[in-house]
Amino acid sequence: MLKKERVAFIDAKLQQLYPQTPIPLNHSDPFTLLVAVLLSAQCTDERVNQVTPALFLLADNPADMALQPVEKVQQIIRPCGLSPQKSKAIVGLSKILLQQHGGRVPESFAALEALPGVGHKTASVVMSQAFGHPAFPVDTHIHRLAQRWKLTSGTSVAQTEKDLKRLFARERWNALHLQIIYYGREYCTARSCYGLTCPICSTCFPARKRPVVTKKA
């Protein structure tokens, strides 16, 4: 298959498999989504969803979160890993939201990325899923599959995001990034397929014999 044909096949297959794209992180508004995405760094969505009910019972808005001792937040989120940094970031960004944004999550990449603990990927998730702006957050699943599908050189997450945005229609970005994540978890996991056996890999690369070694970003 030529790359253009692969892109069309992958797009159609993912829409067929995942016509609905619910966000896997439980949340109720932009603030709780922002916190949940921050917690998901180097942690599974399942674990985050186990932790956030207790955290949001304690505080589910910037005003209440800003009043919490960092140590109390850290104790709750410890199962997510990196709890010292994440707890400090959550309390810190809550204070900034109150001081600079009227207690609301800003609808801006620049403003989001200026918050403690919020990188480009987290900002992209919030912009796309909370506010509906076209964005293509790239996580480890997407980075791995984009390489297995020869859609990117895989030299960096930034390059992968740029390549995928170039290949797929802008109106598909928000749903597509979730569809690729779902597919990576169900069919083309980090410790299986290796670019050889899942439905997309085997269809796009029927002659491939050797496992694809993912270049970590």
Q: Which residue has the tokens 């109150």?
A: 98
CB 187 within 8 A of CB 144: no
Residue 198, Ramachandran bin (φ over 0: left; ψ between -120 and 50: alpha; else beta) = beta
Q: Which residues contact 121 (CB under 8 A, 6 or more apart)?
A: 137, 138, 139, 157
Q: Which two tokens stand for residue 4?
A: 């253009």
Q: Which residues contact 35 (CB under 8 A, 6 or more apart)?
A: 27, 52, 55, 56, 65, 90
CB 24 within 8 A of CB 45: yes
Instruction: Determine the residue type at 154.
Output: G
CB 124 within 8 A of CB 112: no
CA distances from 151 to 74, 167, 177 (A): 39, 8, 14
Active site residues: 121, 139
